[in-house]
């Protein structure tokens, strides 16, 4: 996927996240992009590492910064909180220019926005980390093993919260595999 195709997909994701009630700060875009790429095999081309608040891509952070410079996204300050990311009219032009790419991944974008749009940052951290653990350990390992691992690598996440997150991710994976978004692994 080239830079402008990726811009079309990510700005569409931002729009859909907001339409599904997302605050749409950088954390929301980071975690939703992880689900798009790692769960649904949308070839965004970002490298995610386990970082302070769950999986994070420095490449994606740089990409979002370049989208601001290109006028594809803008930041809406929300004092005393951090800014919200909003797609612009220029992003609508890119989406139209790459309509075929957007159409190819539209059901995946909608699926992720529906599943994650209403989540707060703490829950997004748990879910994204649960997905990361599930995909990078043995995906068939018992839920309790994955929850214990998540709680070990993120000590501020209780075992109960980790168990809920892993169960939720397992449900999302199952829905992705049987639902309208057929790109799931």
Q: In terms of C-beta distances under 8 Å and separation of at least 24 residues, what long-range contacts does 159-164 make, across chains too?
A: 161/126, 162/126, 162/130, 164/126
Alpha carbon distance 98, 5 (integer Å): 6
Looking at residues 40-45, what average pLDDT do you find? Answer: 97
The structure tokens listed for 104 are 């190819």
Selection from 61, 59, 31 nearest residue 125 by Cα: 31
**Domain boundaries defined on the chain:** 3-178
pLDDT tens digits along 115-141 = 999 999 999 999 999 999 999 987 789
Looking at residues 24-40, what average pLDDT do you find? Answer: 97
The pTM for the full model equals 0.94
Alpha carbon distance 110, 102 (integer Å): 11
- pLDDT-derived band of residue 180, with 50, 70 and 90 as boundaries? low
pLDDT tens digits along 66-93 = 999 999 999 999 888 889 999 999 999 9
Q: State the virtual CA torsion across 95, 43, 120, 74 in degrees, nearest 10.
A: -40
Looking at residues 139-154, what average pLDDT do you find? Answer: 93
Residue found under tokens 């000590």: 155
**Would you say residue 6 has pLDDT above 70?**
yes
Alpha carbon distance 96, 156 (integer Å): 43
Looking at residues 162-182, what average pLDDT do you find? Answer: 90
Burial class (CB in 10 A: 0-12, 13-18, 19+), 120: exposed
pLDDT of residue 182: 55
Alpha carbon distance 155, 104 (integer Å): 39
Alpha carbon distance 150, 129 (integer Å): 7
């Amino acid at each position: 996927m080239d830079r402008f195709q990726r811009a079309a997909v990510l700005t569409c994701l931002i729009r859909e996240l907001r339409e599904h009630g997302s605050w749409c700060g950088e954390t929301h875009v980071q975690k939703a992009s992880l689900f798009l790429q790692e769960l649904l095999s949308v070839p965004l081309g970002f490298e995610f590492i386990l970082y302070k608040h769950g999986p994070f891509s420095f490449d994606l952070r740089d990409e979002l910064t370049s989208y601001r410079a290109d006028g594809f996204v803008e930041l809406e300050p929300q004092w005393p909180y951090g800014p919200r990311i909003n797609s612009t009219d220029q992003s609508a032009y890119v989406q139209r220019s790459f309509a075929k790419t957007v159409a190819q991944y539209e059901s995946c974008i909608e699926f992720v926005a529906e599943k994650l749009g209403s989540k707060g940052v703490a829950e997004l951290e748990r879910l994204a980390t649960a997905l990361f653990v599930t995909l990078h350990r043995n995906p068939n390992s018992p839920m309790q093993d994955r929850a214990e691992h998540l709680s070990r690598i993120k000590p501020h996440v209780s075992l109960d919260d980790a168990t809920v997150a892993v169960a939720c991710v397992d449900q999302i994976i199952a829905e992705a595999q049987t639902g309208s978004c057929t790109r799931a692994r």
